[in-house]
A and B are shown apart, each in its own frame.
Chain A
Amino acid sequence: MAMEVNSERKDWISELPQCILVDIVNLVDTKDAAKTSTLSEKWKYLWTMRPDLKFDHHNLFGGNHEIRKFHIEQYHFDFVPYRSEFVKRVNHIMQQRCEGTRMHSLNVTCFVETEHDSVDQWISSAINAGVEKLELLLGFRPHFEQCFIFPENLHYNFPYWLFSGPSASFLKYLHLDTCLLRSPIAPGDFRGLSNLTTLKLESVVMEDDFIASVFSNCLLLKDLTLKTCDSFSNLLVVGSSLRLVHLKVIRCLKIVNFVISAPNLTTFEFSGNILLLSSLEAPSLEQMYIYVRGGSGIPHAFNLFTNLPRFENLYLTLPIDLRKVEGKPKSLGSFRNLKQLELFYGGDSELTWLLSILNALPLLQNLSLMFCIERIEEDQTMQGINVGGTTLNQLKHVKMGGCVGNWYEIEFAKFVLRAATKLEKLVITPVKRYYLGDGEDFDLSLVSSWPESDRARVHGSLKGEVPAGIQFIVL
């Protein structure tokens, strides 16, 4: 393998200041950073000085290396060498790092069975290096069985008391997935977490005591996310000194008692049984996403919302399955101040009361309507929906998802185009996706695009109705 030597080139890059070289290797994957250690003596340890460490499959093993698809029976058999290689590589980096090299962030994304002793050591090293952001995501599931749930005895017992050790903790951001948090024993156990501003717990096993300790000890906490944590039953977000600004409680199914009294809370997301939220005092609330499953939750939700002083300016997202609403438009009609609504729509028989709901929501700005009928139904003669006194003066964005080209979809689009005087954008798409909370969407669509003939038909039947200046998109 003879290499042509280009005499014009010299070791130009190594002449740059060391801090810049560290910045550069901080931008590449660990695997690639390791390669630079072979460049020269100067580069040998540069890659270990990176302040942001991310250890996951892609980062340690390179981009082209795909994990093979495994069956569950093979899991224990085939992953042992893989897991030990993972630990070997991370240990290597941690050992190479010089004492006193600052660590800004550490992200470990791996298997739940990763040797817990090693993980303890990585955390200790991170604390000594002044880590500010720690993400420990041990819920890495290979391709098999997406919904594979790890038994509790496999969970890593996160040693948060280590942060209360002799070296001061700078930890501000903590994200745990598939870990165990045992309740504090000694009063000092929590000291190391007192600088936390962001805490995100996903599929974490913990008891009510732990949550209570978080609120009484982490006084700087601004951002709290609890997601699919199925082990605690009481969630009392209460206290006049709470600085909490953002709260997300997503599918924590064991909660039976949920109370919020938080003076600084401005955004709140909740996906779960709204009936369990017994009190909501949040004078600063500006944005809220609440998933209401059935009809009985609606009157309860309304009672909660009326106690919010800033309700009129609230940006509220409320996905509701119309098919399950009892008493139909009457109960929904109380949400006069709703700005954003996501609806699931079951068929033509609901068209009239869909319209009466819209009538009852004069401040609505964004409407997302998911059509749930997936077959083409026989056309019905329709005189066109009577706009009558309906005024949708605030409606700006309408998205119709899950469309297949049924007549009532087209009639509804025509209605919106006539009645919504301030409309800016109308999107009609076969894609059916709705918001699940915590920035995630759930995609239910059968197809991602229409056959061209259907698209042309829908587009053609509406084209003449679209006033100038409106963005009209048929996907």
Chain B
Amino acid sequence: MSSSLEKNMLILRSSDGEEFIVPEVVAVMSKAIKNMVEDECASNTIPVPNVDANILAMVIEFCKKHDESEAEAASDLKTFDSEFVNRGQEALYDLITAANFRDVKELLDALCQNVAEMIKGKSVHHIRIQFLGYQLFEILTSNFIWNIWCDRDFD
């Protein structure tokens, strides 16, 4: 397979053994992969441990879009980003881990932004449900931080 591979293409192999043929320019948006390619310690097939096929496909989709749309309006890309990262918690967690581990800065930024939106302007109650899935009642109503920051006079 690698012999018939076009120039400037790389094969990425997910943790569960699925292979993806990806243009090099797209693959090197991962800084970790870029370093491997530059150090020439990569054969045509690059293993991507800890990232399964499902998540790897998503990461590749994101990188392809960002590679293609350099000329596109920034606002279009932003819309794409916010739709792309709008996923369930499990996928979000896996994507963040993959983006962090593989050092894909643009993707990590978009994902962190998405999680930050879950906090922005929300009540403590809401944030707890969102992240922990439950509300602890004994919290912190006597807590020092709570007293300073949730003073009713200023809310």
Residues of A near any B CB (own CB < 8 A) = 1, 3, 5-17, 20, 23-25, 27-29, 31-40, 61-65, 85, 88-89, 92
Contact = CB atoms under 8 A, between A and B. Distances in A.
Contacts, number: 100
B61 to A, nearest CB: 21
Given A7-B133, A12-B93, 18 more contacts: A6-B134, A12-B89, A12-B90, A13-B89, A14-B132, A17-B100, A23-B108, A24-B116, A25-B116, A29-B120, A35-B123, A35-B127, A38-B124, A38-B143, A38-B145, A38-B146, A40-B132, A92-B145
B119 A11 contact: no
B114 to A, nearest CB: 9
Contact of B133 (A5, A32, A35, A65): A5
Interface of B: 89-90, 93, 96-97, 100, 108, 112-113, 115-116, 119-124, 127-129, 131-135, 139-140, 143, 145-146, 148-151, 154-155
Contacts of B151: 85
A450 B135 CA distance: 54
Given A12-B90, A15-B93, A24-B112, A36 B154 contact: no
B83 to A, nearest CB: 19
B115 A24 contact: yes
A61 B121 CA distance: 11
A5 to B, nearest CB: 5
Given A10-B133, A28-B120, A85 B97 contact: no
Contacts of A14: 131-132
A3 B129 contact: yes
A342 to B, nearest CB: 27
Nearest to A61: B154
A27 B149 contact: no
Contacts of A23: 108, 112
A36 B143 contact: no
Given A27-B116, A34-B149, A65 B96 contact: no
Contacts of A92: 145, 148
A39 B131 contact: yes
B128 to A, nearest CB: 6
25 contacts: A1-B135, A9-B133, A9-B134, A13-B89, A13-B93, A16-B97, A16-B100, A17-B100, A20-B96, A20-B108, A20-B112, A23-B112, A28-B119, A34-B149, A35-B122, A36-B119, A36-B127, A38-B128, A38-B140, A38-B145, A39-B132, A61-B154, A63-B121, A85-B154, A88-B148
A65 B145 CA distance: 19
Contact of A16 (B90, B96, B124, B139): B96
